[in-house]
Structure 1
């Protein structure tokens, strides 16, 4: 029944629900403390006060139970606390309205907007109407003190017998109360509707910023930046694997086919690369024009059956196959050239408003040279990579090349990658050289 009364077209997110539940819990705890101290004091006054003491103790315990209703949801918690409030008022006015506690009926319902939000205006409207009617009735019928020997029910019965005859000023009082209730209701509704809109806008902006930072940076780096945004992030990795790739023939294709076809090609190729990198649990570093850079071994928490260099070799073969598939019917012909090297690197985040995660060092330079001195449709790996992946791959030695600053290097063409080491060829990736 409650779900039919409550307007849940704009459900409250989990964060808001937790905050609002905490507010209700605080209110319930304060109420239980108040009733508990009152009951304790009344127990000390003697037997004549025992009944009221037990009633107040029961009301305090009932308020405390509100804090145990989290698993039933915010609506049930607030509904229970509202019912408890009405029971408290019913008990309080049983001895007269001198305590003026029935004033809660005026300010209480609008406070529901702060607990539930403006989306629940239908339910809050119903509670507000009932509360206003009850406040007016109590104000006009219930005396300040119930005379000795009478009960509240005697007073109510007498009012029925008198036919609710009222003075003209009572009409003015009713109009005044309705005006106050209406003002409180619409003010609270407007304020909380604005708060909900602002919170929704902030949450959308936060979601966009979260997505962007996780796209621009590895998740582990993004977490460190969010935890300590002013702290320098720099680390040395002693054994990283770096891959560089470049689209051979891309400049000719761009000149012949125009902007739309060029951007579409890059989008298709790099999107496929992104999925492959994730599947191999490696890290995309950056793209520069038609170049694509990947790193492995940067995250010590990644524990895979195969070393990162083997996964990088398998990635390289899949990348070449992807480009062949995507560009099969394109003209001029576009193919991928790949180079891989491994060794120590420096990794870190640079930039303020636009943070950028990058890696530097001689290892990066050699990996870039492995790519630039390679051939379209082939993967060239350094001897360091070949030594580590030897059990998993088939390689072909090529002529020695000279790299500036590093002298002569004996590179290899990567031909085939096996899922298992040594002689097991049950599943393999192949490049046709």
Structure 2
């Protein structure tokens, strides 16, 4: 017994640590199942109390025993649902419901219309099966429908009827069963259609959200539990921030219309986004002609060497591709800094993903002091990337708000 309880506890703990998406799919059906079990327990308990007052019912103790036994089974299904054994609880509920009605009809030996509860079970079972469980659902619906037809039209009850009465009862029974079956099928079709629309909408929302903020934050916000935005702020021990800005942009903007300027930025930033995805770089934001991204902000645990090298590789790819896309009328300058940072989304009105910290400020200063077509990096970035990339000897520069800082120029791969 102790081993069984221990295994139940382990299964419950695993279900609590399961992915939120899986728990979300089953939570609603599990709540419905638990509610049905509890409702049936209460109804049967009241039925058993009612029978006590009718002492002239033949074999009344058999009816009470039947109810008490099935109350136990319904209660077991309820507790199994609470422990996370949804599959077992579901089939126990369905089989117990069938067993109770089957036994009750045979015990009464007269037609008390108990068989109509099979139709109720047909509609209730629609909510116990997920969209992909079509085979199990059809088996259950056909079972309930067949049992109703058998007890409604079969010669189970020893009551004399005229031939026309028997024929009419049989026709009405078949018509009622087929009508309920068709209605249940239509309801299920409507449910499947609603599920597909909800899943399509959720998929589109998830894809759109992942384009705006990092994937781990979007999944956190889209989970079933209500989340506070303040909990989406993460500290990063090591990350590499890259600032990209255009040179000769002001003269270029004066020579073209506003619409063409925006279309130019859209075309260039689309190329940047594609390259960022190829090099595991997280886009932070754009600010006019300034593009800001980082490496090491996602859930993938990259080393300091990998983070710095990804950012250097991204900068070189951007510099090369920009010359092809933009031509010679406009230039580019890049600044890269590595260190600790804080990322997340803050506020409640149109929250946006951003990064804060000294590393962010240093990358911005390195970009602003860089020359045209030049990639300036800090000392930490150089130290973690020097095995695979070439740098000019360090030079000391006065950076606004940061004082004297040693900077290096990224030349290319070794």
TM-score w.r.t. length of structure 1: 0.61
Q: CA deviation at 1:365?
A: 4.1
Alignment RMSD: 5.3
1:216-235, aligned counterparts within 5 Å?
216-219=212-215, 221-222=217-218, 227-229=226-228, 231=230
The equivalent position to 1:102 in structure 2, one of 110, 115, 118, is 115
Question: Which residue number in structure 2 is paired with residue 357 of structure 1?
Answer: 353
Question: Which residue number in structure 2 is paired with residue 273 of structure 1?
Answer: 276
Q: CA deviation at 1:93?
A: 2.7
Q: 1:105 to 1:327 in 2, by over 3 A?
A: same
Report how many aligned residue pairs link the two structures: 370
Question: Which residue number in structure 2 is paired with residue 89 of structure 1?
Answer: 101
1:27-426, aligned counterparts within 5 Å?
27=36, 82=94, 84-95=96-107, 96-97=109-110, 100-116=113-129, 120=134, 123=139, 126-127=142-143, 129-137=145-153, 142-143=157-158, 166=162, 168-170=164-166, 173-174=169-170, 177=173, 180-181=176-177, 184-219=180-215, 221-222=217-218, 227-229=226-228, 231=230, 241-246=240-245, 263-278=266-281, 283-289=282-288, 291-295=290-294, 303-306=301-304, 311-321=307-317, 323-324=319-320, 331-332=327-328, 337-342=333-338, 347-350=343-346, 352-360=348-356, 363-383=359-379, 385-386=381-382, 394-397=390-393, 401-406=397-402, 409-415=405-411
Secondary structure of residue in 1 paired with 2:304 = coil
CA distance in 1, matches of 2:63, 2:141: 33
**Which of 1 and 2 has greater Rg?**
1
Q: CA deviation at 1:380?
A: 0.8
Q: 1:405 to 1:217 in 2, by over 3 A?
A: same
- Residues 255-306 of structure 1: CA deviation (Å, up to 9, x unaligned): 69x787874554233211133135xxxx43223355332345768x875443
Any gaps of 5 or more consecutive residues in structure 2?
1-21
TM-score w.r.t. length of structure 2: 0.63
Q: 1:332 to 1:216 in 2, by over 3 A?
A: same
- Residues 112-151 of structure 1: CA deviation (Å, up to 9, x unaligned): 323337885855663464244224225x75148xxxxxxx
CA distance in 2, matches of 1:206, 1:143: 57
CA distance in 2, matches of 1:292, 1:168: 85
Question: Which residue number in structure 1 is paired with residue 13 of structure 2?
Answer: none
Q: CA deviation at 1:53?
A: 8.1
CA distance in 1, matches of 2:118, 2:104: 13
CA distance in 1, matches of 2:313, 2:359: 21
Asked whether the equivalents of residues 225 and 231 of structure 1 are also in contact (C-alpha less than 8 Å), the reply is: no
CA distance in 2, matches of 1:356, 1:205: 22
Q: 1:405 to 1:19 in 2, by over 3 A?
A: closer
Q: 1:274 to 1:71 in 2, by over 3 A?
A: same
CA distance in 2, matches of 1:225, 1:27: 31
- Residues 192-227 of structure 1: CA deviation (Å, up to 9, x unaligned): 444443343333333333333343233554466565
Q: CA deviation at 1:314?
A: 4.5
Secondary structure of residue in 1 paired with 2:279 = helix
- Residues 78-126 of structure 1: CA deviation (Å, up to 9, x unaligned): 6775555444434323331366432313322233323337885855663
Asked whether the equivalents of residues 105 and 135 of structure 1 are also in contact (C-alpha less than 8 Å), the reply is: no
Deviates more, 1:264-273 or 1:110-119: 110-119
Q: 1:55 to 1:124 in 2, by over 3 A?
A: closer
- Residues 11-32 of structure 1: CA deviation (Å, up to 9, x unaligned): xx98545643564466567768
Asked whether the equivalents of residues 243 and 363 of structure 2 are also in contact (C-alpha less than 8 Å), the reply is: yes
Q: 1:332 to 1:97 in 2, by over 3 A?
A: farther
